[in-house]
Each structure stands twice: as structure tokens, then as C-alpha cells.
Amino acid sequence: MPVPVLPSEKKRQFQSNLARMSSDEGEKTSSPRSPAAPPLDDDDLLSEILLRLPPQPSSLPRASAVAKRWRSLTSDPRFCSRFRSHHRRNPPLLGCFVKFFDDIYFNYTLDAPNRVPRGRFSVPIHAGESFRPLGCRHGLVLILSSGNQLLVWDPITGDQHRLDIPPVFDTENRWISAAVLRPAGDIQHFQVVLVGHSDMHHQKAVASVYSSETGVWGNLITVQLPPDDPRVIQYKPAVMVGDSLYWLITGDIFRILEFDLGRRSLSLMPIPGEEIHWWEGVGDISVVLLEDGGLGFLILSKFSAQLWKRKINCDGVTLWLVEKTIALDRLLSNSEWATPRPFILGFAENNNVLLFRTAAGVFTVQLESFQFKKVFDYNNWHGFYPFEVVYTAGI
């Protein structure tokens, strides 16, 4: 039979156990632990939070208005560089560079407060200078200017680089085109891929790559052309899909010219569907990027758009399969489509957005969500070059 414990003995046992626990805890912890700093008081953690703000022009200016410390972080050149690099693959479509006769200027597509003023980016072309825009990519604009030169221009920083076209390229009598890009993970250097003809290689397309890191043009790369001697379409900039650049070319019929950046190779491929002749309209077709990152091709037939997907069979032969058909007239009202047919003006790679011209103006359509937006009222410009970049206004 257990011996009952008296209340006074229970009290002494409790005090003895408490003293023992305090002694043990004192041995484990020699000094009291300092309280953790609140997350927003830690500069490193705050930088990581700010880094993940949406890449819209108003994001960092709004954050910088919260406190002096926040402004100090967001205005740090190292942070701004990290912010641009972090959002390199998903920059917003700020607007388009628009060519109208002998003039070229920027026009915005974003709504306030992210709208960039029309006069913010002044194109460095001298009065009377002949030029032809070749496209925009990774925040850079590429222009073919007089004197057999290529102008690589960064509208954000104002940096300009003028490159002499290698003399092996025939710029007087034959077609020429080019595309600019930044190597993966690099926001300092750039490359230019130049394609065209050469007097040294008849009936062949030739290409060469310029690297700003080395300051020289690479070896000449060639591919045999078919007898109808196709040429690159001037107002259709190259589209980048994966590690390749694609140009639409036409002789008697349309084809696609591919430059593989990894393999440093040129090749030709047919477009999908039936043969489309040059007189049937370049505004009806476009190389596009598919949702899964693959190569796609869009064909317009009045108000119906057919989206094709490229497949490579076991023998390495290109096959085209219909991915989907889009009834464009069901997405907008009849008044907005009051024109014989829409016309493809350009393609924004990072946002997967097509620009269409209609009688009511210029619209964008996002190829995954099919969301339409009217961006311009006027529709008689000669060339549209979508400009996608992370721009931190006012920082």
C-alpha cells in the first residue's frame, strides 16, 4: 500500500525539481538569445522580396516611396541589375517602335501608371539618313543604317554600337537581314546574327555571328538555296524560339530559314499546309512561339487563324500538325473587324502576343489566353517592332 505524500512534501518536491530544471537550462544556454529582426528590417531579405515584384515600370518607383531605406535598396545599381536579370524571361511589352516613311518613333501599349511616354526613347537616326529597323530583343534595338553599318541601340541606357558589315556580304544587289540578342544570363554583352548573300557563294544563304565580348565577326556559315532564289522578307523580323532564330523567306513560295545558335548552322524548312505564294500576302502568316516553348506557325484565312506545331520525326524530317483553329471574329465585335481581313503586323516573343491591324486600329492578341486589347487607333504605319524590356522608371 503506497505511503501518502503530505502537502508540504509535495511543495518541497516541486521546488527541488524546478531548481534542477533551472540549473540544467543554465548549463545549456550560457547567454540569452537575441530576438530575430523583423523580416522587413533585414536588408538581404527585403531585397529578395523586392526582387520578386512584378516587372512593370511602376513597381520599383512605388516601392521606393515607402521609406528612405527602400529607396536606397531599389536605386542601387547592383539591385537594378539583379531585378532586370531576374525578370529577363518575362519582361512587359512596353510598346512598339513604329516606322512611318522616313521616320521612326516609340509608341506605348501599357496603361497608366505603367505607360512609358512616347518621347522617352528617341531613336538615334540622323535627319536624311537611310535606315531599316530589323527588330528588337532583350531590350536592344537593331537598325540597318547607311554606310553598310548595323546600329545596336539600348534605349534604356542610351548605349550605341555601330558595326561594319563584313565585306563578304553583298549589300548592294542582294537581300540582307539580322537579329540581335543577349547570351543567356548575360545583361552586358550582345550578339548579332547577320544573314544574306555573298558574291563568294552563289545560290547560297550565308550567315555570320558578331560577339560584343570578342569584338569580331565569326566564320561564314552557308546553306544551299532552291532555284527560285528566295530572299528574307524585309518587314518580318526574326523570331527566336529556343536556341534558334527563324526568318520568313520567299521566292516563288514562302519558306522558313533557321539559324541554330548552338550548332552554328543554317537550314531551310517548308511552311505548313499548302504552298503559299508571295502574291497571296505576307500579312497572313507568321512564325510564332507555342505555349510549350516549341516552334509554331500561324496562317490567317480571312477571320480564321490556324495555329500549327512543328514535329520532328525519327528520320529528322519536319512535320507540321494543326494545334488549334481560332475564330477571330467571335472575339471582337463586327465593327472592330470592319475590314476585308485582319493583317499580322508583328510578334512579341516574351509575351507571346501577335499584333493585328484592322479597320478600327491595331490590336494585340495573347496566343495562350486569346485576350484582345486595342493599343493604337491609327493603322497606316509601315512597320511595327515590339519592344519588350524591364524598365524601372524614375529610379
Mean pLDDT to the nearest integer, 242-247: 96
CA atoms within 13 A on the CB side of 122: 4
Q: Can you name the residues that pair with 302 across neighbouring β-strands?
A: none
Find out whether 104 and 133 touch, Cβ atoms under 8 Å: yes
Task: Lowest mean pLDDT of 151-155, 318-322, 324-328, name the range.
Answer: 324-328
pLDDT tens track for 7-22:
455 445 544 543 454 4
> What does the buried/exposed string (b/e) look like for 216-229 if buried means 16 or more CB atoms within 10 Å of the residue's CB?
ebbebbebebeeee
Is the pLDDT at 25 greater than 50? The verdict is no
Q: How far is 355 from 308, CA to CA, in rounded Å?
A: 18
Q: Does the pLDDT at position 24 exceed 70?
A: no
pLDDT of res. 177: 94
- pTM for the complete prediction? 0.84
Helices 43-51 & 77-86, crossing angle to 10 degrees?
40
Identify the bridge partners of residue 161 per DSSP, sorted by sequence position: 152
For 133, phi then psi, to 5°, come to -65, 145
